[in-house]
Amino acid sequence: MSRTFASRLTMGTLSLLVASLPASAHVVFNEFDLMTKNEAGWHFLWMGFTHILPLGFDHILFVLSLYLLSPKLKTIMVQATAFTVAHSITLGLAMYGVINPPSSVIEPLIAISIVVVAIENIFWPKLRVSRIGIVFLFGLVHGLGFAGALSELGLPQKHFFTTLITFNIGVELGQIAVILLGYLLFGYWFSGKEYYHKRIVVPISLAVVLMAGYWTVERIFFT
């Protein structure tokens, strides 16, 4: 084998490898772009749902903590609405590139939000106006967390708005599923009981504080 032929063979092989890297890195993105509008919409709807249940354990604890305050429908609806409006705002702004905070800041804040809500469950057993404001503020933070996960997936440019909306709807459906889970775990059995706060809310909230507190330390100092 001549040196010229060997050199050409080597360069050709390297070129082929280099050319294949971006193709493999964006294979999922290309598949999404080739989908029809309905196919992409349903796919991102499911991805939004699974980002909450079962994959989003921190988001699950946050929503459960909201429900835990009181199993009454009005209480959870007010909080859920504030949370939904807030995270929809920041999710949209982040995906359109208006804001782009680092995950090193957002992830610890998400953990802190769980701690704050769980502590409030312990000391203030009734829904307060300030609680709605707190939920809204932390909803803004969670929306940035959703955006970070969605950015890793990559929205198809062809159906950008549709997939953004359906992903958010999937997130909402996941949150509703978590609320139903809370209802089945403790809302159905203990709603209206005199000991609900003392024996249900306080012990569970303490466990949530410990877990989310651990996440906070881990995300600040070890990630």
Tokens of 112: 């802190």
Indicate the burial class of 5 (C-beta count within 10 angstroms; 0-12, 13-18, 19 or more): exposed
Q: What's the whole-number mean pLDDT along residues 69-83? A: 91
- pLDDT beyond 70 at 1: no
pLDDT of residue 19: 36
- pLDDT beyond 50 at 2: no
Q: What's the whole-number mean pLDDT along residues 190-207? A: 93
Portion of the chain with pLDDT greater than 70, in percent: 87
pLDDT of residue 8: 44
- Cα–Cα distance for residue pair 69/117, rounded to 1 Å: 9
pLDDT of residue 79: 95
pLDDT of residue 29: 47
- pLDDT beyond 70 at 204: yes
pLDDT of residue 131: 95
pLDDT of residue 3: 42
pTM: 0.84
Give pLDDT tens digits for 12-46. Answer: 433 333 333 333 333 344 477 788 889 999 999 99
pLDDT of residue 25: 33
- pLDDT beyond 70 at 55: yes
- pLDDT beyond 90 at 213: yes
pLDDT, greater one: 34 or 92: 92
- Cα–Cα distance for residue pair 129/137, rounded to 1 Å: 13
What are the distances in angstroms from CA 179 to CA 49, 163, 167? 13, 24, 19
Q: Is 154 left (phi over 0), alpha (psi -120 to 50) or beta?
A: left
